[in-house]
Structure 1
Amino acid sequence: MQTSRAILFFCLSLLATSTHASNRYYADNTLEPSQGFAWDWGIGAGYYIEDSYLVGIDSYNDGFEPDIHLALSYDHFYLDYDQSQLSGGLTIGYSIVDKFEWGLDLVGTNIQSGFDETGLAFYEEDVIEELAGIKSRNYDFDVGLRLSRRFDNSQISFEYLHDISGAHNGWVMNSFFSQIIPWRNWEFRSGIGLSAYSEDFTNYYFGITPSEANSNRPVYTPSTSYSLIFEFHAEYPINQNWVFLTGWLSTWFSDDIHQSPIVSQEYQHKAKVGLRYVF
């Protein structure tokens, strides 16, 4: 049991943003039913710059991170792990309906990164003064239905997901519209999404219980919340195998999130530039 939990935590710890959309949102995603077994993968690295929404954490953070993409499918089942999109992450799914450009899928994915008094990384040992005394918030794993409609170079999708990990036991609703514009050898991707979070979700991650409260951190009990996300990516094939990529991700939080005593601002931005090798 401990081994399986460690493996799950390792997979989820690779996810590095506050909320995750994953490549399933994009109009050219490959998450379709296949005849038999199919797979595709690539690997690379990128340099990123981001600011944190948690109090006490340096608002400017940068470094290198891996860029891994793995897509597996067998008949109606699929698994997709994608870090090439800034909002990317792990998705496991089953295609129920795929007809006339409409899709209905059963999907499972991580929505919210966990954090504790050391920040977003549980393996850090130094306690952040502004977060000292808070309880650990665990990664969640949410399962539900996703309805999508594809057009020529765009896609719109809607999701209703419920946490099955026992972290917050709440629901999340996502809507996302994406468009892909090719220009010469470039490919430009843009997307905008709106997510709503249940009271259980918001209170678990951003509420403050009486045992966590102090003179600078009052008890806080938020209600339902939402966030708005905008994402832009550009890719350019250098040769047959190497691809240059860059992107920008912005997230804005509603009052119930950014007024939390452990949240420093109502937005979060991240930019990235890197290279990926496609096999």
Structure 2
Amino acid sequence: MFDPDDSDNSNIQLLNDRDDSAMAFASYRFGPITAKLAQDISGVHNGYLGQLSLGFPIPIATWRVIPSIRYQYISGQMSNYMFGVSQSESTKTGGTISSYDAPATSRTSYGFVAFHSISKNISTMVSIRQTQYDSSIKQSPIVDNDTVNSALIGIFYKF
């Protein structure tokens, strides 16, 4: 989530942390299609999200590769918590950062995750993903880019 201390901008550093929330979710899978609904149960933002994703595993030699695409709808409460700037935060910056009420938004992600078993108990994982937020999110004074690229490499040990 958003951590103002990660910024070199002294005004951004005056803003509040956007901490993670506890989300309860229900998910249903039908073949390669998954639908998910999640709701904040911690009272952090009281928002929700809906997700529809498509992923199909493809065996390639000793790897299992799963290309996927995902669409998420993010409610106004959750979006405003993540990307909004309250009037009190704006006041802390002397108005340098304007207050902003973020509307409901969406994001689309595509990429792949690949798994490889090294032994009975050890597996590796590689994931590459690009996420594109709805263009309205760039109106937020704390958002520089509406695209997020990520890569993750991991090793798993099964007990």
TM-score if structure 1 supplies the norm length?
0.51
**Which residue does the alignment assign to 2:54?**
177
> Which residue, out of 223, 228, 234, partners 2:108?
228
Q: State the SS of the aligned residue for 2:57.
A: strand
**Which residue does the alignment assign to 1:246?**
126
Shift of 1:184: 2.3
Shift of 1:232: 0.8
Q: State the SS of the aligned residue for 1:247.
A: strand
Q: 1:158 to 1:131 in 2, by over 3 A?
A: same
**Which residue does the alignment assign to 1:268?**
148
Q: Name stretches of at least 5 consecutive residues in structure 1 with no aligned partner.
A: 1-112, 120-125
**Which residue does the alignment assign to 2:29?**
148
Q: 1:259 to 1:274 in 2, by over 3 A?
A: same
Sequence identity (%): 24
Q: State the SS of the aligned residue for 1:132.
A: helix
TM-score if structure 2 supplies the norm length?
0.84
- Aligned residues of 1:137 and 1:167 also touching (Cα < 8 A): no
Tell me how far apart the structure 2 counterparts of residues 118 and 270 of structure 1 sit (CA, whole Å): 21
1:118 aligns with 2:5: yes
Shift of 1:212: 1.6
1:30-51 residue CA offsets vs partner (Å, 9 max, x unmatched): xxxxxxxxxxxxxxxxxxxxxx
Q: 1:128 to 1:256 in 2, by over 3 A?
A: same
1:51-79 residue CA offsets vs partner (Å, 9 max, x unmatched): xxxxxxxxxxxxxxxxxxxxxxxxxxxxx
Q: 1:193 to 1:118 in 2, by over 3 A?
A: same
Q: State the SS of the aligned residue for 1:118.
A: helix
Q: State the SS of the aligned residue for 1:165.
A: coil
1:139 aligns with 2:20: yes
More helix per residue: 2
Tell me how far apart the structure 1 counterparts of residues 88 and 119 of structure 2 sit (CA, whole Å): 57
1:160-193 residue CA offsets vs partner (Å, 9 max, x unmatched): 2221111111121111111100122121111111
Tell me how far apart the structure 2 counterparts of residues 198 and 227 of structure 1 sit (CA, whole Å): 12
> Which residue, out of 183, 189, 195, partners 2:72?
195
Cα root mean square deviation, aligned = 2.2
> Which residue, out of 242, 255, 260, partners 2:135?
255
Stretch moving more, 182-191 or 214-223: 214-223
1:159 aligns with 2:10: no
